[in-house]
Structure 1
């Protein structure tokens, strides 16, 4: 006999896992912001925490895949769960890659130039975290759209900041190597914002399907 209590419990498990993944994305971006504000001794611990957040999120993503393979009833379409899980994982993965670059780049590279980008990244990921948590509560399209508007605004502002940073690189007193290094760092932050946008778009699409 089918246990409906067990089936409902499986549905809750997906919400738990997706929310945990969104939380790791949020934590990693906040740690990144902290690294840019603090000295190198404080950053070492934060870098380790970012690596752990990415590893933890990878385990969560793998767990979601496992649950999809052995669960008959899911809260929404399996393809959407897989897509959202992957989009969320790509956020801390990109943040970790950025931090790796920061640890090996020359000390003279001005990290403060990225701070406005990182602030907007944090805002974008916080909006995604909020949106993912709304999935459990059922169809509340208005709150999802409000959060998505915040996310879209952060992405738009990040694009403007990126353009200003690139303009500064083209016209500033930088050596060729510095231009290459900074351009890669700026691109990675922009990529992380794009990952957040992608995750938010998937949440919005899920809510539109069931509204």
Structure 2
């Protein structure tokens, strides 16, 4: 006689797939930090493509599992929201990398690495928060949420400093426009990490 768990599934695959999506997002931010820390001419973008593809595969598997599964360990809407938030991180990172590869020759003297380091750290915290869904430990999740909030605040401060360069008067209009675009993409990537962390935190709040 089959148990209900055998018939309906334990739902563990959703946590595993969300872990995979979070890891892929983190890998993309690691690749961006390495690119910006050690800039070279004609940078390779394979790492970003692979991370994005890995994220797509995890996202597709989550969508299929939601269709095929009778029960889920947490609400379907929460799984979809977190999957969507995670999907947007490597998408934004790849967008930055693609544009950086095209415009690198016009970005001499602009050091994006410290901001990329903050992004990589934020994505690392998101990985921990997603893995925390396995245990639903509210105290631990609250600490991670505060850590992510602090990283977001520090990243905002660093990006504000970059904006001072834009309006310093030493750049022409085209340079100002170019830098502003890069700053906004980087800022949005950090915001995507924060959004994913908020979803994970809210899931634990509802289920702890």
1:30 maps to: 30
1:16–1:169 CA distance, 2 compared to 1 (3 A): same
Structure 1, unaligned runs of 5 or more: none
Q: What SS does the corresponding residue of 1:201 show, helix, strand or coil?
A: helix
Greater mean deviation of Cα atoms: 165-174 or 94-103: 165-174
Q: Are 2:174 and 1:177 aligned?
A: yes
> Any conservation in 2 of the 1:25–1:89 contact (CA below 8 Å)?
yes
The structural deviation recorded for 1:181 is 1.1
TM-score of the two chains, using structure 1 as the length reference:
0.92
Work out which of the residue numbers 77, 80, 85 in structure 2 matches 1:79.
77
C-alpha distance in 1, partners of 2:178/2:56? 28
1:144 maps to: 141
The structural deviation recorded for 1:9 is 4.4
Structure number having the greater helix percentage: 1
C-alpha distance in 2, partners of 1:146/1:140? 10
The structural deviation recorded for 1:161 is 1.2
2:16 maps to: 16
Aligned length: 208
Work out which of the residue numbers 44, 50, 53 in structure 2 matches 1:52.
50
Structure 2, unaligned runs of 5 or more: none
Work out which of the residue numbers 126, 129, 154 in structure 2 matches 1:128.
126
Greater mean deviation of Cα atoms: 7-16 or 76-85: 7-16
Aligned-CA RMSD value: 1.7
TM-score of the two chains, using structure 2 as the length reference:
0.94
Work out which of the residue numbers 187, 193, 198 in structure 2 matches 1:196.
193
Give deviations 1:16-52, integer Å, cap 9, x for gaps: 10000000011000000000122426931xx111111
> Any conservation in 1 of the 2:152–2:191 contact (CA below 8 Å)?
yes
The structural deviation recorded for 1:177 is 1.3
C-alpha distance in 1, partners of 2:116/2:15? 28
**Regions of 4+ moved over 6 Å:** none
Matches within 5 A, 1:145-160: 145-160=142-157
C-alpha distance in 2, partners of 1:7/1:111? 60
> Any conservation in 1 of the 2:9–2:69 contact (CA below 8 Å)?
no
